Amino acid sequence: MKKYLSLFFTTLLFSSLSAQDCSDLFFSEYVEGPANNNGLEIYNPSTNTFDLSAYSVNRYGNGSSSGPDTWPLSGSIGPGQTVSIGNGQTDSVWVTSYWSVPVDTVFYNACNLHGSGIYPTPFYFNGDDAITLEKDGGIIDIIGKVGEDPGAAWTDDASAGFTDANGGTWWTKRQTLVRKPTVKKGVTMNPIVFNPTLEWDSLPDATYSGLGSHNCDCFSSNSFSQIKNTSFVVYPNPANIGDNIIINTYDKIKQVYISDFLGRSSISVPSSGYKAVINSSNLNTGSYIIQIELEKGSSIEHKIIIN
């Protein structure tokens, strides 16, 4: 009996620790806009810098509960900072019987990282797809309900379990959702029903101006004024020869250098502001170190892999 009680309380302790306020990343904005203008913003509410290689974004389409489309992350995110990722389709694509149209320029420029633009990726979601943020294979936040197809979208209609069965107002289709400032952690358990009005504010369709920052009650307005951290995202990583590897940073980039683990084949990569692009066609398969020098004087090192 003591053994089972001990296991019970250990489980309770672990659950409470894993769900503490302001302790891990969560989704802070959701965009399901016209055509393929779909994007997600991830926010760091803590005072720690996180290695993004432990995290992924996943789409469970049309009520599925397994086999999601997955987008692994790479880089790091500092306290109070965000990473906004959007669909990267920049040209029209013929799909069986219709043209899949590109995202618009305003939306593309509002995101600091982009998916491949080749279906499927998680960023081809629509209003009936559940989206998860996962860390080391465990769910740390959910938009929607995994395993449920709500119809066209989840809604504000409690009488239909927040599905659109009774014609409620769409919340997860043709809307921008912003996490309420009072939300301090993600949803780690698949909800019995997904009521989007509890934790999200709804903005009009095609609203992208809020991407790139988030207000949260985890900190006062001046909490980050004295924190000097640098967030950066690298994708894809691992990459295939021929891929363009994108580096986005929170602070302006001065220069990026690439070398192998023996310090050979050092290549200088030009940058433009907060972004640099590595053309992997010039590299062989293997592991490399990138050194990102910032205009403010600090530098970052990160490992990339070329397959």
Give the per-residue pLDDT at 267. 67
Go through the chain and tell me how many residues it has.
Answer: 307
Q: 21-203 with 232-306: one CATH topology?
A: yes
Global confidence as pTM: 0.82
Query: b/e string for 278-305 if b means 16 or more Cβ within 10 A?
Result: bebeebeeeebebebebeeeeebebebe
What would the two tokens of residue 1 be? 């009996």
Start-to-end CA distance of the chain, whole Å, equals 53
Name the band, by pLDDT with cuts 50, 70 and 90, for residue 1. very low
Most confident of 3-17, 258-272, 288-302: 288-302
129 contacts: CB under 8 Å, gap ≥ 6? 59, 60, 61, 62, 144
Residue pair 124/39 in contact (Cβ under 8 Å)? The answer is no
User: Is residue 4 scored above 50 in pLDDT?
Assistant: no
**Which is it for the CA torsion 208, 214, 217, 220, positive or negative?**
negative
Before 238, cis peptide (omega within 30)? yes
Give the per-residue pLDDT at 15. 38
Write the Ramachandran bin of 56: left for phi over 0, alpha for psi from -120 to 50, otherwise beta: beta
Residue pair 48/76 in contact (Cβ under 8 Å)? The answer is no
What would the two tokens of residue 148 be? 């449920």
CA 197 to chain centre: 21
SS3 state of residue 119: coil
Residue pair 303/288 in contact (Cβ under 8 Å)? The answer is yes
- Amino acid type, 290: I
178 contacts: CB under 8 Å, gap ≥ 6? 28, 29, 200, 201, 203, 210, 214
Give the per-residue pLDDT at 169. 96
**Nearest alpha-carbon partner for 80 in 181, 208, 189:** 181
Among 37-51, 115-129, 148-162, 280-294, where is mean pLDDT lowest?
280-294
Domain parsing of the chain, residue ranges = 21-203, 232-306
Give CA–CA dist 45/28, Å, rounded.
10
* Mean pLDDT across the chain: 86
Given 3.30.2270.10, 2.60.40.1930, 1.10.8.640, 3.30.460.80, which CATH number is that of 232-306? 2.60.40.1930
Q: In what order do the strands lie in the sheet with 69-72?
A: 69-72, 55-60, 130-135, 138-143
User: Is residue 141 scored above 90 in pLDDT?
Assistant: yes
Fold annotation for 21-203: Immunoglobulin-like (2.60.40)
Residue pair 216/82 in contact (Cβ under 8 Å)? The answer is no
Tell me the average pLDDT across 230-252. Answer: 83
pLDDT digits (tens, 9 = 90+) for 42-80: 999 999 999 999 999 999 999 999 999 999 999 999 999
For 129-149, give the DSSP string: -EEEEEETTEEEEEES-TT--
How many other CB atoms are there within 10 angstroms of residue 7's CB atom? 10
Give CA–CA dist 257/301, Å, rounded.
10
